[in-house]
Amino acid sequence: MICALLMLWMASQAVSAEAVQHMQAGIEADKQEHFEVAIAEFRKATELAPNLAEAFVGLGRAYMENHEYGAALAPLKRAVELNPDLLVAHEFLGYVLLAQGYAAEAIPHLERAGARDALGIAQVDAGQLAEAVVRRSMRGNWRKRSSICAKPWLSVRMIRICCTTWVAPAVCCRSSPSISCWP
């Protein structure tokens, strides 16, 4: 369904049929966790449609899934340049910046995307503990499992911060048994 909507939208944007085919192939490869293939397909889509922000988001996401965070930066920055209102581009760029150790630079993107849990981690890493605590206390329910713990592209360090800072460690350790969540 999502693929059909994406294809319909891209058709309205005057994107070439070949670029659409590469986008579709990239999406399928990503679904099957063939990230090298997805990277190649999305890269070709960005070459054929250099103004299609969604192709750059797909490329950045494929790099993220393949744990190539440094390589994900450029396409995600390009996606934000092309379409500053594309929230998923801001969200993924914020995650990548945070994973690369650029917490302060990640904050505006995570704020824009409404990625509250990652924003709290970025604020803690950037030394903005008071802002992180205020933001978190405004949300309430400290025991609720954080959705950010389930993000596959987070580093072990970020997951540990998530587990020990935002949720009960036992909850997170059950969801990520291969990670030692205890400080």
Tens of pLDDT, residues 138-174: 555 444 444 555 455 454 445 444 444 443 333 344 3
- Whether 94 is in a domain gets the answer yes
- Whether 150 is in a domain gets the answer no
Instruction: Give tens-digit pLDDT for 94-108.
Output: 999 999 999 999 999
Alpha carbon of residue 17 to chain centroid? 27
Please give the backbone phi and psi of residue 141, each rounded to the nearest 5 degrees, phi first. 20, 80
- Whether 155 is in a domain gets the answer no
Which residues, including other chains, have CB under 8 Å from residue 6's CB and lie 6 or more apart? 23, 27, 54
Q: Among residues of the chain, what percentage have pLDDT more than 90?
A: 56
- Whether 175 is in a domain gets the answer no
pTM of the model: 0.70
Query: Structurally, how many domains does the chain consist of?
Result: 1
Q: Which domain holds residue 130?
A: 2-142
Which CATH number fits the domain that encloses residue 19? 1.25.40.10
Integer distance in angstroms from the first to the last C-alpha of the chain? 43
Distance between CA atoms of 158 and 121, rounded to whole angstroms?
8
- Whether 148 is in a domain gets the answer no
Q: According to the model, what pLDDT value does residue 137 have? A: 55
Question: Is the separation of the CB atoms in 52 and 6 below 8 Å?
Answer: no
- Whether 147 is in a domain gets the answer no
